[in-house]
């Protein structure tokens, strides 16, 4: 399917940050853009906001003044809906209210030509529900941009029950022509990103509530071990807790209170206290003038008399860590065993979802120290560990000293199942697998959405494949056993892959 040609006008309704951003994207692609807002003067203000932002690029030599002038000339603020009659694609970016959006779509059907495509930028409302009262719901499609629209690559193209394949394909091709990375999804609660991303926030919030460690330490682990751009607390402070909590609650209620999407009491308290994050100066962190972000908890330099690392059996995902340790000058001895590392009194193993204390008892290994997952052990600057209650202080010190020899900062957290990165990835991949199972989107589109929409270091399903089909299934099974909750039940597709010994991409 061909994209909409650049000689076809585009209309954007809503001149707030999102609507203005979409208008800029369309104008940059060469379209004439009609920008409409019901608030007097808002469309012109939106155009001026675009001009102000792009002028900075001109001043820095990253954009030509002539190109800016031409772009602004293509954006035409208008005041009446009737002036949209020539538009071939109309994108609404107004308030997230079903009735208000339905009313607008009904009006648009009376104004626009029968060939015009109507698109909604909704992030949470069903496209099927929006189109239910339309005369021609087949021409309604979701076109979900991410904020800021000019910078964020992802566009979710959402098919409602009545959306025609031709309309969805045309919008997909148009988004690609505009320089975006489109993905196709069905109209289910949260679509791809706002559904699959829920565990990223939920698991850090749960660990905080369980007093595993503090927010600054959890954020540091997520960044420095997991490879994510921001930790959950930094990100929700940026998004706004009112917004993030509302999305979580919406997805939770839309899925009939499935415990996988259970909102956090910690975040609820912040919202009720009016601590919404950056927007009003206080969230998990203070943004008042002169305030400093707290430092993560880091184990002080530990000493150990040991100079030999014994690798018992396959080190699995820890292989890159072993290589890094060998490069630090340690002597490495390899022998048969259950997949553990021995250094001095410490016995280190990758978390499998059980608490260290439970696993130490089951495996008769008192000095067990569990190591968290890292996106790339060769580059990770921080790792989380948890010690079994049975472990001696000397064993914990040896474990810390070992990791510090490789230049890794160590954050010891309380003994909680699956630690931080492992439980975050396991639950993200589990939700992604469930979305794929139910046909929300393809495996590749789900991974692309999480990378392009949220800057994840890797798509959760590809990351799962890289670790092997059984690991995350084992972790989730142990999490479910530890908590006794459906929240951690392994998705059927993940379970199938585990027993078929295959990956999502094989």
Query: What is the chain's length?
Result: 506
Residue with tokens 């972790």: 475
Q: How many CA atoms lie within 13 A of 87 on its CB side?
A: 30
Cβ-based burial of 397 (10 A; exposed 0-12, middle 13-18, buried ≥19): middle
Show the tokens assigned to 420: 């931080």
Between CA 232 and CA 291 the distance in angstroms is 20
Task: Locate 149 and state its tokens.
Answer: 């629209």
**Residues 6+ away with beta carbon under 8 Å from 378:** 320, 321, 323, 324
Active site residues: 144
Question: Could you tell me the two tokens for 366?
Answer: 């008192």
What are the helix (H) ranges across 231-299? 232-239, 241-254, 265-272
CA 50, CA 382: separation in Å to the nearest integer?
A: 40
**Pairwise CA distance, residues 109 & 111, whole Å:** 6
- Compute the distance between CA of residue 502 and CA of residue 406 in angstroms, rounded to an integer: 33
Q: Where are the beta strands (DSSP E) in 234-380?
A: 308-312, 331-335, 340-343, 346-350, 368-371
- For 123, counting Cβ atoms within 10 Å of its Cβ (0-12 exposed, 13-18 middle, 19+ buried), the class is buried
Cα 16 to Cα 41, 95, 159, distances in angstroms: 12, 10, 25
């Amino acid at each position: 399917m061909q994209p909409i040609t650049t000689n076809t006008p585009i209309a954007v309704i809503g001149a707030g940050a999102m609507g203005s951003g979409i208008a800029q994207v369309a104008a940059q692609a060469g379209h004439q853009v009609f920008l409409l807002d019901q608030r007097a003067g808002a469309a012109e203000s939106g155009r001026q906001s675009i001009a102000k932002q792009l002028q900075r690029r001109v001043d820095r030599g990253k954009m030509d003044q002539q190109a800016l002038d031409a772009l602004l000339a293509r954006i035409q603020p208008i005041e009446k809906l009737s002036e949209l009659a020539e538009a071939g694609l109309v994108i609404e970016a107004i308030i997230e209210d079903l009735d208000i959006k339905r009313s607008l779509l009904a009006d648009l059907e009376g104004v626009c030509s029968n060939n015009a495509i109507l698109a909604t930028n909704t992030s949470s409302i069903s496209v099927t529900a929006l189109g239910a009262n339309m005369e021609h719901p087949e021409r309604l499609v979701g076109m979900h941009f991410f904020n800021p629209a000019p910078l964020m690559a992802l566009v979710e193209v959402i098919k409602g029950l009545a959306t025609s394949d031709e309309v969805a394909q045309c919008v997909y091709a148009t988004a690609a022509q505009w320089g975006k990375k489109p993905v196709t999804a069905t109209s289910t609660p949260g679509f791809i990103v706002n559904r699959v991303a829920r565990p990223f926030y939920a698991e850090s919030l749960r660990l905080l509530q369980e007093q595993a460690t503090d927010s600054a330490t959890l954020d540091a682990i997520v960044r420095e071990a997991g490879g994510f751009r921001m930790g959950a607390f930094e990100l929700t402070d940026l998004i706004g807790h009112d917004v993030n909590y509302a999305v979580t609650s919406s997805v939770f209620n839309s899925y009939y209170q499935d415990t996988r999407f259970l909102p956090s009491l910690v975040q609820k308290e912040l919202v009720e206290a009016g601590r919404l994050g950056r927007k009003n100066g206080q969230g998990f962190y203070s943004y008042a003038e002169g305030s400093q972000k707290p430092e993560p908890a880091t184990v002080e330099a530990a000493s150990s008399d040991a100079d030999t690392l014994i690798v018992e059996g396959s080190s699995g995902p820890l292989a890159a860590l072993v290589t890094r340790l060998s490069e630090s000058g340690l002597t490495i001895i390899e022998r048969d065993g259950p997949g553990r590392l021995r250094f001095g009194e410490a016995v280190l193993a990758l978390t499998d979802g059980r608490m260290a204390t439970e696993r130490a008892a089951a495996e008769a290994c008192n000095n067990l120290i569990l190591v968290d997952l890292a996106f790339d052990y060769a580059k990770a600057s921080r790792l989380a560990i948890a010690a079994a209650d049975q472990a001696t202080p000397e064993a914990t010190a040896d474990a810390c000293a070992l990791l510090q020899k490789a230049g890794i900062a160590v954050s010891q957290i309380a003994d909680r199942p699956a630690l931080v990165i492992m439980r975050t990835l396991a639950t993200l991949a589990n939700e992604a697998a469930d979305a794929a199972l139910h046909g929300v989107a393809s495996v590749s589109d789900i991974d692309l959405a999480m990378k392009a929409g949220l800057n994840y270091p890797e798509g959760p399903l590809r990351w799962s494949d890289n670790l092997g089909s059984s690991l995350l299934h084992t972790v989730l099974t142990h999490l479910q056993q530890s908590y006794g909750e459906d929240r951690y039940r392994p998705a059927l597709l993940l379970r199938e892959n585990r027993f078929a010994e295959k990956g999502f991409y094989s």
